[in-house]
Amino acid sequence: MKAVVMNRPGDRDVMAYVAWPDPQPGPGEVLVTVAAAGVNFMDLGVRQGKAWTETPDPKVMGVEGAGTVRAVGAGVTEFAPGDRVAWVYAPGSYAEQVVIPAASVVPVPSGIDDETAASVMMQGLTASHFATDFYPVQPGDVALVHAAAGGLGLLLTQIIKLRGGTVIGRVSSAEKAVVARAAGADHVIIDTAGQFAQQVRALTGGIGVAVVYDGSGPVTFQGSLDALRASGTFCWYGPVLGAPEAIEIMSLPRSIKLGYAVFSDHIPTPALLRQHAAQLFDWIARGQLKVQATTAYPLKEAAQALADIESRKTTGKLLLVPAGR
């Protein structure tokens, strides 16, 4: 089969599209033919040597996707060849085939296509965690969503709206503002320098927002603090873009709550993984959650896809599609 591997940590030149041994499922595993693989900031962190350091190079990249079960290992009874499945964390997904623990895949309903399923696993489950678990948005809450035109931001905006919240989206360009508004953002701020807090407070009558979802790196950290209301919640994520300086806890203002949100805490068991994935698919089937237009690259162009997501100039979800799909 063909796969995309990284030969060492570094820039895009460390990635290669190569022939790779066909995987075989072991006990409790399924072999899946990949229809589409998701491109994520996590993959960028892996390429840079910030994650998966315990796995020797060369290694196949990618963690997310959707496809069709090709074979099952001993003991697997809940899936059979021909079943359509999706997954959120399966190392080696930038490939034509991948072996995954059966406990880590979810069934894909007939009304959901492969590209849509691959687009909502990581970002959709992350958005679900942020808005229903880490800070359960209540009707009337105002939320500030950074990178509101990105794949995660677009889904997060819609889930907040489903729960009765108001969204202030922050984007970096007028073009992205159009995309964020189309997803339901009530207000959109165009900003690239981290100078948004005053506008947020003006939009909230000086009160501030109930929650900030910030994965934009250190440049926005102080502004996000300043944008929060008393006892507001700061949801920090996205370590690939860097962390703020050390925080003196007694300097945190207005009794705010600050935390680092990790989506895996939302799906610690196979039952919860399938429950939350099923909710996403149900929202999509009902037309309540819309996946914005995806950008699909041939699998062999994975290095370009990662370069594009790193540029922060893309909107929506980026996917890799193996040849012949």
Question: The tokens 């007028």 sit on which residue?
Answer: 174
Q: What are the residues whose beta carbons fall under 8 Å from the beta carbon of 245, sequence distance 6 or more?
A: 218
Distance of CA 274 to the CA centre of its chain: 17
Q: How confident is the model at residue 297 (pLDDT cuts 50, 70, 90)?
A: very high
- Name the residue with higher pLDDT: 207 or 243: 207
Sheet holding 15-19, edge to edge: 15-19, 2-6, 59-60
pLDDT of residue 324: 66
Is there a shared CATH topology between the 2-122+266-321 domain and the 139-261 domain?
Answer: no
- Helix/strand/coil for 307: helix
What are the domain boundaries of the chain? 2-122+266-321, 139-261
Q: What is the CATH number of domain 2-122+266-321?
A: 3.90.180.10
Q: Residue 216: its pLDDT value, please?
A: 86
- In this prediction, residue 241 carries a pLDDT of 60
Model confidence at 301: pLDDT above 70: yes
Q: Which residues contact 269 (CB under 8 A, 6 or more apart)?
A: none
159 token code pair: 């889930």
For domain 139-261, give its CATH number from 3.40.50.720, 3.10.310.10, 3.40.1260.10, 3.40.50.620: 3.40.50.720
Distance of CA 195 to CAs 171, 214, 241, 245, Å?
12, 14, 18, 18
% of the chain beyond a pLDDT of 70 = 98
- CA distances to 43, 185, 254, 307 from 90, rounded to whole Å, are 12, 32, 41, 22
